[in-house]
Amino acid sequence: MAFEVPPLPYDYSALEPYIDTETMKLHHDKHHQAYVTNLNGAIEKHPDLAKHSAEDLLRNLNSVPEDVRTVVRNNGGGHVNHSMFWTIMKPGGGGEPTGAIGDQIKKDFGSFEDFKKQFNETTAKQFGSGWGWLIWDGKLKIVTTPNQDSPLSQGHFPILGNDVWEHAYYLKYQNRRPEYLAAWWNTVNWAEIGKRFEQAKK
């Protein structure tokens, strides 16, 4: 069974004014589709890989045949990262997290505002394309990865991630990455992120 782009869980325009309709169409239908197409192309060369999930391929990159390893790393990463990205946003999102994730953020960063500031500053500094992540490592940590590298490949489960490839924000924000990072919090689906936090702790 070939990998597929999951449908967006909301309309392309649902995250306006923070993420524009045109960006969502390009990002989901073109960019994410390209990662899936390339990943499926790699799997065709080694059909036995098809029995693994994309997440498992990323967790065990060293066991992926060398001739397709980079393709799987880049495009499997692109597929898994974006599949998460669509679910951790929602129309009318944002606000402060509650429950276990809210408590843990306060414990590890002092306050939600301090956490957001640190996340935005760290992620804004990611050179070139990449992602900013919140991971669980006995405590919550903010890390970045270049390109489509996934924290899964370093043994970490991503709780939330924000895409700072230019295609994620350039139509609306041009080169103003910090402005995009600040606006993005208005789209965040804390219920879904709370579920991912529970998963990460397991």
Would you place residue 32 in the very low, low, confident or very high pLDDT band (cuts 50, 70, 90)? very high
If asked whether residues 130 and 178 sit together in one domain, one would say yes
Does residue 51 lie in a domain region?
Answer: yes
Long-range contacts of 19-22 (CB under 8 A, 24+ apart): 19/89, 19/169, 19/172, 19/183, 19/184, 19/187, 20/171, 20/172, 22/171
- Residue at 171 is within a domain: yes
Provide the domain limits for residue 29. Answer: 21-87
Same-domain check for residues 68 and 119: no
51-57: average pLDDT: 96
CATH of the domain at 111: 3.55.40.20
Write the CATH number for 80.
1.10.287.990
Q: Last residue of some domain: 60, 87, 114?
A: 87
Question: Do 103 and 197 share a domain, yes or no?
Answer: yes
Residues 83, 105 within the same domain: no
For residues 191 and 104, state if they share a domain.
Answer: yes
Q: Which residue, 87, 118, 140, sits at the end of a domain?
A: 87
Q: Looking at the domain assignment, is residue 14 inside a domain?
A: no
Confidence at 157, pLDDT banded by 50, 70, 90 = very high
Assign residue 147 a region: left if phi > 0, alpha if psi is -120 to 50, beta otherwise?
Answer: left
Residue pLDDT, tens place only, 8-27: 999 999 999 999 999 999 99
Q: How confident is the model at residue 1 (pLDDT cuts 50, 70, 90)?
A: low
Interatomic CA distance for residues 13 and 143, integer angstroms:
29
Q: Same domain, yes or no, for 127 and 184?
A: yes
What integer is the mean pLDDT of 41-57?
Answer: 95
Q: What is the pTM of this model?
A: 0.96
- Average pLDDT in the 58-70 region? 97
pLDDT of residue 23: 98
Q: How many distinct structural domains can be found in the chain? A: 2
Question: Do 118 and 69 reside in the same domain of the chain?
Answer: no
